[in-house]
Structure 1
């Protein structure tokens, strides 16, 4: 096969635009969404003034903006909404609590179970929400004396990415690849069509993630440690509680490590006991859930919940600092009257210096001072009114209290959508859209909060990627590149061809957008298959897998960036640990694709 000649004008322009987009993404000086929108505008204007052969000017506008109505984008948005439903209802919290218990039992076993759990969860839920859910658990474990976060976060992220590549719904990139391939004429792929291939590769990768990768990473435990705020609170025991007759010392072993009973540990708990305690926000939450007790008066909690139901709003928890101008200075929480006046509950107080009365008296008897931090629960409107009236500063972003009563419902909706799509009852776009509508209809996700579920960055990136992919195809650039690669690959065995395509896409993915790499690589793989007379599926899957082998640079995927600051990682940490994993995964996946399809 001879080398192809000079590409046509439109094909050359399409390739130059693609390279420019990659460079802009890699340099990171311009926001991703701006690069994406500019790319769409350039395609629209370019094809308006210089239409493709045989097309009208308006056809170019259709091509440029078609991505915004593409089924892949609709599916991605619907999955984001369902993922949001799982998070805000706390549907995944049982898994994270179990993980914490395993780590307490044995650190090595905890690491192994964490990696397997991360892989399993990311098969069904998009990678980013899974990592967002697990990240605080690993940060908390590190702060409690477990393995340093710098040694666990990169392996955890890699496990999430491996699990995400195992199903068509695991990542938005997977959906993009299979959607483009279907548009090009390949048979539609169902959710679990290639899961067994990734499962085999995961068996080889897991020992590396578990035993080798942590040893290659620095121990930033001391630098990573942060002074988490410890709140003094009062644990209220109801008159029918199972805790009656026990002592705080009996209960301490069941509590999180950053939770403490204050005062005497040997006094017997009686009906309506009020026990002074201290702990972080999450530790207080865990203690309340475990002991079935409260840290706020029942009437205040009921008032907050009733107000939230009446206004169809969420209950949130925030951290607020007392300023020197606040009227609360010198007062106690009961004497301030904030519960009755604003309808909020102060769950605990963090003081910069713990006075001698802490531990001997309830937190409600502590006099507030400038700089104290209050842990406050209520509706957002009531909290904002409280902050404005009493001169308080909001310190932490708003944390929604999970609507746990809907956790099973959200899980059932997600399972139903995935299951019906996996058996081919209807396309994944219909299943995901139906699931998102059910999330809205049942109240698992509030419609006015849908903006928190959707990512404008992802939306415009996917739209631009679809546009650039269609341009690469219709301009003839994909065919020309396919001929070029085919000429170089024609003498190689099938396994080497698959591996070369996978590594080519992997290189693009680790230095640019994986969505853009997917839309460029899929038509090229399709063209190579047709030119060399090979099956389409293994080469398309090589592109899909290559887009997910994004371990070697922090810019390769958004979860890589998410853990960079938390673990205090440097570029070299990703390179040192990611390159061996890329080589290992590419080798096993290439062999499995040849065995399965060729």
Structure 2
């Protein structure tokens, strides 16, 4: 092993560990990997940022914008209303939701498809008196399966297509992924429909008034004269024992005491950090005279949310919303947002699945999948959710979208796909033309054009592609391929193919799928060259494996998005995800050999 290969292996090893740990955002890890490669002399400085000009990067950005045009125009909503059954049974509803999600995800961003269908799934869960998890996990997995069927369905396909263009001079076409991807998607959807939905863990059943988001963490204030004043924490919990409220901390004179002794007596002015369901908060307020505390920097001690809102604020309501994977809230705290001054809304509580320690609400850092209990004017709440990539977990207000805009957005997307598929122009050019037409026709407002782009993904791709090229230039990809083929596969092409598929799937379960594919594509090429096998079969295996992240909530943005609303725990995903991944391998392997072998 040469010094360059040792250095690159070390950089890749640290990069993968950082991806898995989640301590840093994926785009920051990718930037660090690129700069380390440049400083080590593995990537020439004048080529360090060539990845941002890659056709994969351009196409991903354009597809995100066109997907946003379909959402904003109401075209997808109208399509969903037209094809969803009016009075379905449970299995029919699961089939309709997963099927529509798969179809939409083939031609638009699958996170957007999930966001549009998620409120429908929650409403159906309430109707059938089911835990939302029974519908949300099949919905998420269905959208992931649908994305692997076309070139633009998922970033891994675009990356693999661009990589093939670099090594062979010709990229994969729009529907080259369909023979294998469609077979895998159909098999996966049938499994989910017939058996899989029964494997989803059943949490506490949701009632007809909403759904189970688990317990909330919040703060309640003890005012002068409250019944709770002078009571011990043990007496407070006993007084409302039927609500299962639990006191996790006490703030007195600005000092937080975690896990305070149950014998401590509460004083006026104290703030209690409590865990309960929404009904528990109501019981605490009505029974003990406590009040909800606004955990924001602009709220004075004892200045309650209700009092502030009722002071000339007008109509207010409560809304639950989930923090999306690319929300600008991630990593920030309520204290720094100044919600009251900037948005005229308040954060009352946070629900965080499988993570008990939050501490004070005002200084808690938001994480993807958190469910927020917000209060404010309905329009202000809706605007905040839209601007901060949060998904309201209730019926969305009905609007009156323009039929002309819906038809225009749908026509642009269909025309762009047809143009790219025809081969008359390159796919990046076709989709860039679609973006231009969307801006000129107003289906995406010009001021919102760049908001639709998932910039962390763009940065990740732009930075990792030169690192992937360095794996080829230094011979590191061939070295790793030789180890995999010789040590584990025993020189057998079929075993090597299964190995590539399984390793790629495993990595995509714990790190960003775009990063996984960027790392695995050069290794797959090296394996193909070592065995003298067709390159395409191994590149397609990487594309399939990179799209199948079913074991964890962090492997795919959709899995993160349903974490809070579904009441899921980290270990819940493998129950349906593991047999689904086995089916993917069982179906994809013979199809890859048949179509591309």
* TM-score normalised per structure 2: 0.68
1:113 aligns with 2:96: yes
Q: How far off is 1:324 after superposition?
A: 2.9
Match of 1:482 in 2: 481
1:324 aligns with 2:324: no
More divergent stretch after superposition (544-553 vs 104-113): 104-113
Is the alpha carbon distance of 1:492 and 1:223 closer, same or farther for their aligned partners in structure 2, counting shifts above 3 Å?
farther
Say what the alpha-carbon RMSD is for the aligned residues. 3.1
Match of 2:513 in 1: 514
Match of 1:531 in 2: 530
What secondary structure, in the 3-state scheme, does the structure 1 residue paired with 2:106 have?
helix
Is the alpha carbon distance of 1:328 and 1:192 closer, same or farther for their aligned partners in structure 2, counting shifts above 3 Å?
closer
More divergent stretch after superposition (581-590 vs 507-516): 507-516
User: Do the aligned residues in 2 keep the contact of 1:100 with 1:137 (CA within 8 Å)?
Assistant: no
Alignment of 1:269-284 (within 5 A): none
Higher helix residue share: 1
Match of 2:424 in 1: 425
Q: How far off is 1:373 after superposition?
A: 5.9
Q: How far off is 1:38 after superposition?
A: 2.1
Is the alpha carbon distance of 1:399 and 1:76 closer, same or farther for their aligned partners in structure 2, counting shifts above 3 Å?
farther
Is the alpha carbon distance of 1:29 and 1:373 closer, same or farther for their aligned partners in structure 2, counting shifts above 3 Å?
closer
Q: How far off is 1:40 after superposition?
A: 2.6
- Structure 1: tracts of 5 or more residues without a match: 1-6, 53-58, 229-319, 330-370, 385-393
- Structure 2: tracts of 5 or more residues without a match: 212-305, 316-373
Match of 1:444 in 2: 443
1:467 aligns with 2:475: no
Cα separation, 2, equivalents of 1:379 and 1:559: 21
Cα separation, 2, equivalents of 1:395 and 1:588: 36
User: Do the aligned residues in 2 keep the contact of 1:537 with 1:597 (CA within 8 Å)?
Assistant: yes
Is the alpha carbon distance of 1:212 and 1:40 closer, same or farther for their aligned partners in structure 2, counting shifts above 3 Å?
same
Cα separation, 2, equivalents of 1:44 and 1:372: 49
Is the alpha carbon distance of 1:124 and 1:402 closer, same or farther for their aligned partners in structure 2, counting shifts above 3 Å?
farther
User: Do the aligned residues in 2 keep the contact of 1:322 with 1:328 (CA within 8 Å)?
Assistant: no
Alignment of 1:67-82 (within 5 A): 67-82=51-66
Q: How far off is 1:579 after superposition?
A: 1.2
Match of 1:31 in 2: 25
Match of 1:222 in 2: 205
Is the alpha carbon distance of 1:437 and 1:146 closer, same or farther for their aligned partners in structure 2, counting shifts above 3 Å?
farther
Match of 1:404 in 2: 402
What secondary structure, in the 3-state scheme, does the structure 2 residue paired with 1:432 have?
helix
Is the alpha carbon distance of 1:10 and 1:224 closer, same or farther for their aligned partners in structure 2, counting shifts above 3 Å?
farther
Match of 1:547 in 2: 546
Q: 61, 76, 80: which is aligned to 1:96?
A: 80
Q: How far off is 1:492 after superposition?
A: 5.1
1:130 aligns with 2:124: no
Alignment of 1:183-202 (within 5 A): 183-185=166-168, 187-202=170-185
Match of 1:209 in 2: 192
More divergent stretch after superposition (140-149 vs 473-482): 140-149
The superposition leaves residues 373-402 of structure 1 with CA deviations (integer Å, 9 ceiling, x where unpaired) of 654499989xx9xxxxxxxxx999x98957
Cα separation, 2, equivalents of 1:137 and 1:99: 13
The superposition leaves residues 574-595 of structure 1 with CA deviations (integer Å, 9 ceiling, x where unpaired) of 1121111111111110111112
User: Do the aligned residues in 1 keep the contact of 2:393 with 2:565 (CA within 8 Å)?
Assistant: no
Q: How far off is 1:328 after superposition?
A: 5.2
More divergent stretch after superposition (198-207 vs 430-439): 198-207
Cα separation, 1, equivalents of 2:144 and 2:434: 24
Is the alpha carbon distance of 1:400 and 1:18 closer, same or farther for their aligned partners in structure 2, counting shifts above 3 Å?
farther
1:63 aligns with 2:47: yes
Q: Which has the larger radius of gyration?
A: 1
User: Do the aligned residues in 1 keep the contact of 2:409 with 2:438 (CA within 8 Å)?
Assistant: yes
Cα separation, 2, equivalents of 1:512 and 1:206: 24
More divergent stretch after superposition (372-381 vs 207-216): 372-381
What secondary structure, in the 3-state scheme, does the structure 1 residue paired with 2:128 have?
coil
The superposition leaves residues 80-106 of structure 1 with CA deviations (integer Å, 9 ceiling, x where unpaired) of 11001001000101232245544x332
